[in-house]
């Protein structure tokens, strides 16, 4: 079923557009608990050693955070300018582009067989950085300063990401039999939960999506396509392996759209400012679902890029001199090496 992940997401989203009540009941606290259950399932597949490996390579984490707040805000401003969006919509697009990575990126990394531990650390770090960078970048690019309360933002990240993943890692360490029983159904639960979440978001924002117009839909689609594409390209161009590049692509391409909706509603008078964030939640989920299915069908081993580099280095090393050959000198009185044909 997980291989058909994008099919279920598209089907659920289409049904939600036709009959929103079929999915809008799954909202509010249910979405929070749904994400927490998914993150717990991901934690069951991880170990403390994997997180240690991530922290031993801070360049990978720095890449994700830098790409998140470098690529997306500039892309949002460029797209809003190029398409000449109305001012409230342009501000809304820039606002969601300046938001940190969303929890859904961890789910997509899990389904795509990317580096889940790295994804979780990237999301946490970008969320912490967002307390300063989201208001600052929005002020610079959109001319509007939107303050963010650090406490609630960190609390929601801890509730949905850090606590469930930590519990899963501990269970993996101290209750391996229970984990072995739960692991076969974990991908199925993750797919069902994310389909319900995507369909619920689609149903809740049906009117906004229907009335948005093609230009707004195009703008949001271009924003996330740019994030996914440049996230991967930048990582590969800087020499990171394929698995890290995929993780970075997912992290950069998927925003915390819920935060964008909250900020737009609290700090701007026009309801149109929240429109890009509302549409973003659906668009990045659909894009992420398709990408996850594609990469899941083309798995890559962890550290494959490093092994290739080692192999290439090995081929450049000079071969050692043959035993007993001209390059080897024997001490006087030492026995000659045995012959190969004996």
C-alpha 165/C-alpha 5 separation (Å) is 22
Mean pLDDT of the chain: 80
Global pTM value: 0.74
Residue whose pair of structure tokens reads 């440049």 in the numeric block: 230
- Specify the DSSP class assigned to residue 100: -
Q: What is the pLDDT of residue 305?
A: 46
pLDDT band at 108 (very low <50, low <70, confident <90, very high): confident
Q: What is the pLDDT of residue 341?
A: 45
Q: Which residue has the higher pLDDT, 342 or 22?
A: 22
Question: Does residue 93 belong to any structural domain of this protein?
Answer: yes
Q: Where are the alpha helices (DSSP H) in the chain?
A: 5-18, 21-24, 29-44, 48-55, 58-82, 87-97, 104-111, 116-142, 150-157, 163-174, 176-182, 186-204, 206-212, 214-237, 242-253, 257-267, 275-296, 304-316
Write phi, then psi, for 220 (nearest 5 degrees).
-65, -40
Cβ–Cβ < 8 Å for 252, 70: no
Q: Region 326-333: what's the mean pLDDT?
A: 45
Tell me: the pLDDT tens digits for 245-296?
999 999 999 988 878 877 887 788 777 888 888 788 878 888 988 898 889 8
Q: What is the pLDDT of residue 4?
A: 67
Q: What is the pLDDT of residue 242?
A: 93
Percentage with pLDDT > 90 across the chain: 23
Collapse the DSSP code of 238 into the 3-class scheme (helix H, G, I; strand E, B; otherwise coil) and give the result: coil
C-alpha 257/C-alpha 268 separation (Å) is 16
Q: What is the pLDDT of residue 220?
A: 94
Percentage with pLDDT > 70 across the chain: 84
Question: Does residue 108 belong to any structural domain of this protein?
Answer: yes
Question: Does residue 122 belong to any structural domain of this protein?
Answer: yes
Tell me: the pLDDT tens digits for 184-213?
888 788 778 878 877 887 788 788 777 777
Cα distance from N-terminal residue to C-terminal residue, the chain: 59
Cβ–Cβ < 8 Å for 257, 99: yes
246: Cα separation from own chain's centroid:
8
Please count the CA atoms within 13 angstroms of the CA of 98 that sit on its side-chain side: 29
Q: What is the pLDDT of residue 3?
A: 62
Q: What is the pLDDT of residue 7?
A: 77
Question: Does residue 319 belong to any structural domain of this protein?
Answer: no
**Domain total in the chain:** 1
C-alpha 158/C-alpha 162 separation (Å) is 5
- The encoded tokens of residue 162 equal 């850090």
Longest Cα–Cα distance of the chain, Å, equals 95
Question: Where is average pLDDT lowest: 14-23, 32-41, 214-223, 308-317?
Answer: 308-317
Question: Does residue 321 belong to any structural domain of this protein?
Answer: no
213: left (phi over 0), alpha (psi -120 to 50) or beta: left
Question: Which CATH number covers residue 124?
Answer: 1.20.1530.20
Q: What is the pLDDT of residue 5?
A: 67
C-alpha 8/C-alpha 293 separation (Å) is 11
Tell me: the pLDDT tens digits for 34-68?
878 877 887 887 788 888 888 888 999 999 999 99
Q: Region 325-336: what's the mean pLDDT?
A: 45
Collapse the DSSP code of 328 into the 3-class scheme (helix H, G, I; strand E, B; otherwise coil) and give the result: coil
Residue whose pair of structure tokens reads 């996850």 in the numeric block: 292
Q: Which residue, among 50, 95, 23, has the nearest Cα to 280 in the 3D structure?
A: 95
Question: Does residue 121 belong to any structural domain of this protein?
Answer: yes
Cβ–Cβ < 8 Å for 299, 292: no
Q: CA 187, 101, 270: angle at the middle one, nearest 5?
A: 120
Question: Does residue 314 belong to any structural domain of this protein?
Answer: no
C-alpha 106/C-alpha 285 separation (Å) is 12
Does the pLDDT of residue 333 top 60, yes or no?
no
Question: Does residue 316 belong to any structural domain of this protein?
Answer: no
Which residues are paired to 101 by β-bridges? 255
Residue whose pair of structure tokens reads 């991908």 in the numeric block: 187
> Domain containing 79: what range?
2-298
């Amino acid at each position: 079923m997980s291989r058909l992940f994008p099919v279920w997401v598209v089907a659920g989203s289409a049904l939600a557009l036709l009959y929103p009540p079929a999915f809008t009941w799954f909202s509010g606290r249910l979405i929070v608990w749904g994400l927490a259950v998914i993150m717990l399932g991901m934690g069951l597949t991880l170990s403390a050693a994997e997180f240690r490996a991530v922290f031993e390579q801070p360049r990978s984490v720095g890449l994700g955070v830098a790409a998140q707040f470098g690529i997306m805000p500039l892309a949002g401003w460029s797209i809003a300018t190029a398409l000449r969006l109305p001012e409230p919509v342009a501000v809304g697009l820039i606002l969601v582009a300046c938001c940190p990575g969303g929890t859904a990126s961890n789910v997509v990394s899990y389904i795509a067989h990317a580096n889940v531990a790295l994804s979780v650390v990237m999301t946490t770090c970008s969320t912490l950085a967002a307390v300063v960078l989201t208001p600052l970048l929005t002020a610079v690019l959109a001319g509007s300063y939107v303050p963010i309360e650090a406490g609630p933002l960190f609390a929601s990240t801890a509730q949905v990401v850090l606590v469930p993943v930590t519990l899963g890692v501990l269970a993996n360490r101290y209750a391996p039999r229970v984990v072995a029983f739960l692991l076969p159904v974990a991908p199925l639960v993750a797919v069902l939960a994310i389909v319900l979440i995507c369909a619920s978001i689609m149903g809740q924002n049906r009117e906004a999506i229907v009335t948005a117009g093609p230009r707004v839909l195009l703008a949001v689609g271009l924003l996330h396509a740019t994030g996914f594409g440049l996230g991967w390209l930048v990582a590969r161009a800087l020499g990171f392996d394929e698995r890290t590049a995929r993780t970075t692509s997912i992290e950069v391409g998927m925003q915390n759209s819920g935060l964008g909706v909250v900020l737009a509603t609290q700090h701007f008078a026009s309801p149109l400012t929240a429109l890009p964030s509302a549409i973003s939640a659906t668009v990045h989920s659909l894009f992420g679902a398709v990408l996850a299915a594609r990469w899941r069908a083309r798995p890559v081993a962890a550290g494959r890029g490093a092994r290739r580099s080692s192999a290439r280095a090995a081929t450049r090393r000079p071969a050692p001199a043959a035993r007993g050959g001209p390059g080897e000198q024997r001490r006087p009185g030492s026995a000659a090496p045995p012959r190969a044909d004996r």
